[in-house]
């Protein structure tokens, strides 16, 4: 049994509380909301499960209700380049869904995660009928472009402290991840997977960022105290 099949078999409808945390759902008109709610499904992804795989055809537009996912791709030499992490509140794959093409990246759960999916046909129906949904998707695409440009820059950085800082800043994007707030529930090992450094080196970088007042390490996560410093690498 493939991971994708298992995820599909575990799907269910969303509760009212789960629908309430979807950032674009509240932008819909009543009839649009009813159509979306009847189609939305949620499933539990276990650590290591692939939600999307390179080369697979798009069937859903996905969002994270709870947990943490990783977006990455593998090159011809077998090396993995991580684009970004996707924390709660993040929706992804709108470009692929718009073009109805195969995925060009992998999406993998770093921890147990609750992932919602809207069928690509309903995604296109909302684009055809909802102004609010269109604006949301347009803002997503615009912000995503900047995110991937930043990801390329981060991947080439040699200063580990700045690399960790910029990677953390990307996870606190208020447009792409509006439900996150100022606290990110993430372990040092999960951050190491996202940044592409060892856990020990990430620990050193977090110590530096804490000493400079950019973050505060709390039990089970991080609190950002100076987002601008993380974005600029000046701390």
- Note the pLDDT tens digit of each residue in 46-104: 999 999 999 999 999 999 999 999 998 877 676 777 778 899 999 999 999 999 999 99
Q: Count of CB atoms within 10 A of residue 36's CB?
A: 23
Backbone angles phi, psi at 64, to 5 degrees: -100, 120
- Same domain? 170 vs 94: no
Q: Are 50 and 144 in the same domain?
A: yes
Same domain for 210 and 142: no
Shared domain for 10 and 63, answered yes or no, is: yes
Burial (0-12, 13-18, 19+ Cβ within 10 Å), 73:
middle
Claim to verify: residue 79 and residue 186 sit in the same structural domain: no
Taking the C-alpha atoms of residue 107 and residue 152, their distance in angstroms, rounded to an integer, is 18
Separation of alpha carbons 205 and 85, rounded Å: 18
Other beta carbons less than 10 A from residue 187's beta carbon: 16
Same domain for 38 and 145, yes or no, is yes
**Domain end among 152, 168, 183:** 152
First to last CA, the chain: 49
Token pair 């007042």 is found at 213
- Between 178 and 207, the more confident residue is 207
pLDDT score for 220: 77
Domain boundary among 97, 125, 152: 152
How far is residue 75's CA from residue 124's CA, in Å, rounded to a whole number? 31
Strand order in the sheet with 113-119: 41-45, 113-119, 60-66, 91-92
| Domain co-membership, 199 together with 116 | no
pTM of structure: 0.84
Look at residue 40 and tell me whether its pLDDT is greater than 70.
yes
Q: CA-CA distance, 137 to 93, in Å (whole number)? A: 10
pLDDT digits (tens, 9 = 90+) for 133-185: 999 999 999 888 877 776 666 666 678 898 899 888 888 888 888 877 778 88
Contacts of 47 (CB under 8 A, 6+ apart): 109, 110, 111, 112
If asked whether residues 196 and 96 sit together in one domain, one would say no
54 in the same domain as 30: yes
Alpha carbon distances (Å) from 58 to 8, 36, 85, 94, 144: 14, 18, 20, 10, 18
Least reliable range by pLDDT among 77-81, 159-163, 205-209, 226-230: 77-81
Last residue of a domain, one of 134, 152, 170: 152
Tell me, yes or no, whether 127 and 24 share the same domain: yes
Mean pLDDT over all residues of the chain?
Answer: 89
- Sign of CA pseudo-dihedral 35, 137, 70, 50: positive
For residues 165 and 197, membership in a common domain is answered with yes
Q: How many domains, in total, are found in the chain?
A: 2
Asked if 192 and 166 sit in the same domain, the reply is yes
Q: Which structural domain range is residue 215 located in?
A: 158-232
Q: What is the CATH number of the domain that holds 82?
A: 2.60.120.10
pLDDT of residue 61: 97
Q: Find how far residue 2's CA is from the centre of its chain.
A: 22
């Amino acid at each position: 049994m493939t991971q994708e099949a298992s995820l599909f078999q575990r799907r269910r409808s969303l509760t009212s509380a789960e629908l309430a945390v979807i950032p674009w759902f509240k932008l819909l008109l009543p009839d649009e909301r009813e159509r979306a709610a009847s189609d939305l499904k949620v499933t539990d992804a276990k650590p290591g499960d692939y939600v999307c795989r390179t080369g697979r055809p798009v069937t859903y537009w996905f969002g994270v209700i709870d947990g943490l996912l990783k977006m990455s791709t593998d090159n011809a030499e077998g090396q993995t380049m991580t684009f970004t992490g996707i924390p709660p509140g993040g929706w992804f794959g709108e470009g692929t869904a718009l073009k109805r093409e195969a995925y060009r990246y992998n999406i993998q759960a770093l921890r147990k995660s609750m992932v919602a999916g809207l069928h690509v046909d309903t995604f296109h129906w909302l684009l055809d009928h909802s102004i609010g949904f269109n604006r949301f998707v347009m803002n997503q695409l615009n912000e995503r472009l900047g995110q991937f440009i930043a990801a390329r820059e981060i991947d080439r950085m040699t200063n580990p402290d700045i690399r960790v800082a910029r990677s953390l800043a990307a996870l606190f994007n208020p447009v792409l991840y509006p439900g996150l707030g100022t606290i990110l529930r993430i372990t040092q090992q999960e951050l190491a997977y996202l940044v592409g450094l060892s856990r020990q080196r990430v620990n050193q970088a977090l110590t530096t960022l804490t000493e400079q007042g950019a973050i505060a390490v709390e039990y089970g996560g991080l609190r950002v105290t100076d987002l601008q410093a993380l974005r600029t690498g000046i701390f």
